[in-house]
Amino acid sequence: MTAKAPAARIEHVNLTVSNLDRPIALLQALCGWKVRLRAPHGVRGEFAHVGSEDHYIALWSDGADHSGQAKGRPLNHVGLQVADLAAAARAVEDAGLETFSHGKYEPGPHTFYFFDWDGIEFEVVSYEQGRKG
């Protein structure tokens, strides 16, 4: 018998962009979204989360020109939100994949990352992890 997979939803997609202001303005006009967060990135550049209360697109820019397919990797990762982070990690590992960068964003979620068989990076997040009932 196969264990039931934890319920999940796409929480965000993370994209590399050349300029944060252009996609922010487009997403606000096109979708009616707001800037949830905009800040310097911990390693380099700047990032923003643009969306609703429930979902968003994460934009990251290091100031370089990333236009055109050959100049970079515009899709950084897909963020999946789960209630049970440990169960999600087990499911990934049971599939023969490795998890990495387990951590917590202040004041946000607990997370880990993994690459699938085609090299697509996923971030798994849980806002439930660590909450006291």
* Bridging pattern class, strands 121-126 and 110-115: antiparallel
Check residue 48 and give its pLDDT. 95
- Which helix (H) or strand (E) element contains residue 24? helix 21-31
As separate numbers, helices (DSSP H) first and strands (DSSP E) second, the chain gives 2, 8
For residue range 13-49, what is the model confidence (pLDDT) as tens digits? 898 888 899 899 988 987 789 999 999 988 889 999 9
The answer to whether residue 38 is domain-embedded is yes
Contacts 24+ apart (CB under 8 A), 63-72: 63/18, 64/18, 65/18, 66/16, 66/17, 66/18, 67/18, 72/16
> What is the total count of domains within the chain?
1
Q: What is the CATH number of the domain that holds 118?
A: 3.10.180.10
The two three-digit tokens of residue 7, written as one number = 């319920």
Bond prior to 23 in cis (omega within 30° of 0): no
Q: Which residues on adjacent β-strands are paired with residue 99?
A: 114
Q: Give the rounded percent of residues in the chain with a pLDDT score beyond 90.
A: 28
Which pTM was predicted? Answer: 0.65
The answer to whether residue 3 is domain-embedded is no
The answer to whether residue 37 is domain-embedded is yes
- Integer Cα distance of 4 and 14 in angstroms: 28
For residue range 97-116, what is the model confidence (pLDDT) as tens digits? 999 999 887 767 899 999 88
The answer to whether residue 82 is domain-embedded is yes
Its domain, for residue 21, covers 8-126
The answer to whether residue 1 is domain-embedded is no
The answer to whether residue 94 is domain-embedded is yes
- Integer Cα distance of 52 and 63 in angstroms: 25
